[in-house]
């Protein structure tokens, strides 16, 4: 394996920073029974330093999501009778696409056919970096190569099973998918002409050429919602690209490192069981401060 690509430096913010200058994130997610996923993603983005976060969700759950995180703005999208995103939602989201610096598509979004149609419509219209996670990844199975036409960065954040499915490895077991992680991540990055962050112990981040294998993180990340938080962190760092030298690969690597470092801080204090995803999000500022000061694990 080639040497790990070093993380870029993360400087302190200028004194005259304001909420629009440090990055604006749009999260498209949620369906009936899954209101928590986009809220956790937004919490991760805000705790990672995004200045403005907007959550676009089906109208049937908009009030629930708004009550989970008052610091985020909520946009109610047209939804079907079963509470899923409707294919007409693209038109409602369109006015927001030029007002943000990065998007997350997928947390808790569901897998209805009309939702997949809406996701592809968004991918075609969005001119900013997009993070695909969870149901966003499900929507692009079998069509990963279609992402290569996007001008802005596309970031895939699969776990091992999702990566196998995206590569068309039908019937691959989780155990088998743990082998050849770097190769799988590279193939996905090349196919999408983007960046893949293959989650797991030693998350692999690659743009198909450069590789960063993360050293932070521990078993407390093995609980529901931590992937949603990570997607928000990735989007926040992408939205703040000027502070990381404008390099999307470096921004994703930093995000993965900081997410794991937040978990490491909490493990020292409370052991490796029972920590909630929202608590990992809340530990992000301390982990980021350590990175700014040069003390984060590489």
pLDDT in tens, 269-297: 999 999 999 999 999 999 999 988 875 45
pTM of the model: 0.95
The string of pLDDT tens digits covering residues 153-176 is 999 999 999 999 999 987 655 555
Least confident of 32-41, 178-187, 189-198: 178-187
Q: Please compute the mean of the pLDDT values over residues 219-240 and round it to a whole number.
A: 97
Higher local confidence (pLDDT), 245 or 98: 98
Q: Please compute the mean of the pLDDT values over residues 142-161 and round it to a whole number.
A: 97
Least confident of 41-45, 112-116, 173-177, 290-294: 173-177
Least confident of 113-127, 163-177, 249-263: 163-177
Coil, helix or strand for 41?
helix
How far is residue 191's CA from residue 42's CA, in Å, rounded to a whole number? 28
Higher local confidence (pLDDT), 214 or 14: 214
Q: What is the pLDDT, as a whole number, of residue 296?
A: 47
pLDDT for residue 96 is more than 90? yes
Q: Please compute the mean of the pLDDT values over residues 174-181 and round it to a whole number.
A: 66
Confidence of residue 3 (pLDDT cuts 50, 70, 90): low
Cβ neighbors of 282 (< 8 A, separation 6 or more) are: 43, 47
The string of pLDDT tens digits covering residues 184-226 is 999 999 999 999 999 999 999 999 999 999 999 999 999 999 9
* Burial state string for 171-206 with b = 16 or more CB within 10 A and e = fewer than 16: ebeeeebeeebeebbbbbbbbbbbbbbbbbeebbbb
- Quick one: tokens of 67? 């009550």
Confidence of residue 79 (pLDDT cuts 50, 70, 90): confident
Contact (CB, 8 A) for 37 and 70: no
The CA-CA-CA angle for residues 44, 47, 48, to 5°, reads 80
What's the chain's average pLDDT? 92
pLDDT for residue 1 is more than 60? no
**Rg for the chain (alpha carbons), in Å?**
18
Helices (H), the chain: 36-47, 62-68, 89-97, 113-125, 135-139, 160-166, 174-177, 181-192, 226-239, 248-270, 277-282, 284-292
Q: What is the pLDDT, as a whole number, of residue 173?
A: 54
Higher local confidence (pLDDT), 89 or 251: 251
């Amino acid at each position: 394996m080639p040497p790990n690509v070093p993380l870029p430096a993360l400087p302190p913010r200028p004194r005259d920073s304001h909420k629009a200058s440090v990055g604006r994130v749009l999260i498209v997610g949620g369906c009936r029974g899954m209101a928590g996923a986009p809220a956790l993603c937004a919490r991760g983005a805000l705790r990672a330093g995004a200045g403005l976060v907007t959550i676009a969700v089906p109208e049937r759950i908009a009030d629930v999501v708004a009550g989970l995180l008052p610091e985020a703005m909520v946009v109610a999208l047209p939804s079907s009778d079963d509470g899923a995103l409707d294919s007409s939602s693209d038109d409602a989201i369109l006015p927001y696409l030029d007002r943000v610096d990065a998007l997350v598509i997928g947390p808790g979004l569901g897998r209805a056919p009309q939702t997949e149609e809406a996701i592809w419509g968004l991918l075609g219209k969005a001119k900013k970096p997009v993070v695909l996670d969870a149901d966003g990844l499900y929507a692009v199975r079998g069509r990963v190569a279609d992402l290569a036409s996007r001008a802005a960065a596309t970031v895939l954040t699969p776990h091992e099973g999702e990566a196998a499915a995206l590569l068309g490895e039908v019937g691959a077991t989780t155990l088998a998918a743990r082998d050849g992680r770097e190769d799988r991540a590279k193939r996905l990055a090349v196919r999408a002409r983007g960046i893949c962050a293959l989650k797991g112990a030693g998350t692999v981040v690659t743009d198909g050429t450069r590789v960063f294998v993360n050293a932070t993180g521990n078993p407390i990340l093995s609980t529901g919602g931590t992937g949603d938080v990570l997607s928000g962190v990735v989007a926040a760092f992408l939205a703040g690209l000027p502070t990381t030298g404008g390099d999307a690969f470096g921004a994703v690597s930093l995000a993965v490192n900081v997410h794991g470092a937040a978990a490491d801080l909490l493990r020292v204090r409370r052991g490796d069981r029972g920590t909630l995803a929202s608590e990992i999000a809340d530990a992000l500022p301390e982990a980021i401060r350590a990175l700014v000061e040069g003390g984060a694990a590489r």
